[in-house]
Amino acid sequence: MPSPAENPADGPTSTPATCPMKEWPRAIHHIDRKDLYTDLESRIHYLHTFLDFSSSDIEALINGSKYIKALIPAIVNIVYHKLLQYDITARAFQTRSTSFEGPLDEFPSEDSPQIMHRKMFLRGYLVKLCSDPSKMEFWEYLDKVGMMHVGQGRQHPLHVEYIHIGACLSFIQDTFTEAILSHPRLQLSRKIALVKALGKVIWIQNDLFAKWYVRDGQEYAGGEVEQVAIEEEGYLHGQRMVDEVDEVSTAASN
């Protein structure tokens, strides 16, 4: 897969597209539909080119990471305050996670042991979102995050319906956007670049959730069910991808 840092204006190689039309009236980029559902790199490359995710977005994320990290502890608290306002989303925290071995509150609050545990992982995940997206392992991990919410890859399966995933991602994006645009020390041009870049990453993450929920492309799945390795949360191929950060260490990194 070409690096996402390449200028997507160049686009994929133009080739004749397979189409019932006799000929296209203009040059058009061919996207192999099967590849979108069977090859993660092809899917990511298509999303990068479609969203114009380029080296300027990567630069904006890397240069703005210290500002994002400073916002993360507050945003994590805001997100969990929202999730615990509804019984249907709070219900997801009444089951024990793969690695949590502490006491479990029947009716979780923001200070419950399992919520404090989940906050730790959300902080690490949000830090990961503003790391280096030019590496394929970045997108592999975001894909794995989607997989783990449909009951795969965990010793104790977790099932969260997609409506709540989409709503939560939108809420996170909205909260980040407001915080970045109201930042007192960032120039407007940097605010715009950072909001655009982070928005593209979140929408690609949204797609990598949706691919595990929707049935598009099922005809390419084949007869055998893929065996998914069970790993600890925060790991990809045995390598730790998300650090166990806390509010103190997150703030201290800035």
State residue 140's pLDDT score.
95
- The pLDDT, as a whole number, for residue 168 is 95
pLDDT at 93: 81
Averaged pLDDT for residues 6-12:
50
Enumerate the β-bridge partners of residue 235.
240
The rounded distance, in Å, linking the Cα atoms of 171 and 176 is: 9
For the segment 72-98, the average pLDDT, to the nearest whole number, is 85
- Asked if residue 183 lies in contact with residue 195, where contact means CB atoms within 8 angstroms, the answer is no
pLDDT digits (tens, 9 = 90+) for 96-149: 554 455 666 677 778 888 788 889 989 999 998 888 899 999 999 999 999 888
For 235, phi then psi, to 5°, come to -115, 150
Q: How far apart are the first and last CA of the chain?
A: 33
Closest listed residue to residue 133, CA positions, set 197, 66, 75, 210: 197
Q: What is the mean pLDDT of residues 52-68?
A: 94
Tell me the domains of the chain and their CATH numbers: 36-216 (1.10.490.10)
Coil vs helix vs strand at 236: strand
**Is the CB of residue 61 less than 8 Å from the CB of residue 130?**
yes
Q: Inform me whether the pLDDT recorded for 48 exceeds 90.
A: yes
